[in-house]
């Protein structure tokens, strides 16, 4: 019968052996990825020539003061509020029907074109009243009134919910 094992001897490599093994692993990885490493070193050289590495080094060395300046800028410029508004506008635009929006924007564009045309003389009071007979003017006023009605309804219901 075999003798029972009473002790286990661990083979602990010396510092030199561990270092030689680590160097060999690095050399193996370098040779296996030679093209990639050469390409990366080329990119790194270009970044150094462009001064990007110096900028990055400076940023890292001054990160504490830059952090304070960045946070102060965020607070002064109200970045969180601005981002919230961007999100809300994005959500709003996502809810709009593109065909209806296109029609409204085309009407707005044509209205701006006509508004910018030079008038021969200012309209009189009776001339303004007479404009209400124009179907295009009536359609525009009707659209504006419907818009105001919908907006007022939403504002009123929001006020009721908040109180």
Q: Where are the chain's structural domains? A: 16-61, 127-163
Distance of CA 69 to the CA centre of its chain: 21
Q: Per-residue pLDDT tens for 115-148? A: 888 777 777 888 888 888 999 999 999 999 999 9
pLDDT at 94 over 90: yes
Query: For residue 38, is pLDDT > 90?
Result: yes
| CA pair distance 130, 123, nearest whole angstrom | 10
Instruction: With CA atoms as reference, report the closest residue to 43 among 52, 54, 56, 34.
Output: 52
Cα gap 137→126, rounded to integer Å: 15
Residue 32: per-residue pLDDT: 95
**What span, in angstroms and rounded, lies between the C-alpha atoms of 135 and 54?**
67
For the record, the structure tokens of 97 come out as 């029907």
Condensed to tens digits (0 to 9), the pLDDT of residues 42-72 reads: 999 999 999 999 999 999 999 999 999 999 9
Residue 31 has pLDDT above 90, yes or no: yes
């Amino acid at each position: 019968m075999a003798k029972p094992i009473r002790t286990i001897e661990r083979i602990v490599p010396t510092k030199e052996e561990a270092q030689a093994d680590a160097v060999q692993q690095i050399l193996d990885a370098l040779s296996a990825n030679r093209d990639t490493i050469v390409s990366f070193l080329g990119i790194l050289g270009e970044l150094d020539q462009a001064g990007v590495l110096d900028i990055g080094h400076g940023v890292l060395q001054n990160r504490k003061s830059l952090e304070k300046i960045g946070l102060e800028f965020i607070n002064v410029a109200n970045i969180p509020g601005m981002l919230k508004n961007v999100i809300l506008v994005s959500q709003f635009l996502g809810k709009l029907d593109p065909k209806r929006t296109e029609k409204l924007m085309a009407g707005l564009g044509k209205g701006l074109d006509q508004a910018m045309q030079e008038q021969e003389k200012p309209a009189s009071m009776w001339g303004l009243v007479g404009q209400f007979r124009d179907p295009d003017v009536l359609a525009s006023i009707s659209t504006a009134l419907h818009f105001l009605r919908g907006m007022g309804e939403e504002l009123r219901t929001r006020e009721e919910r908040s109180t």
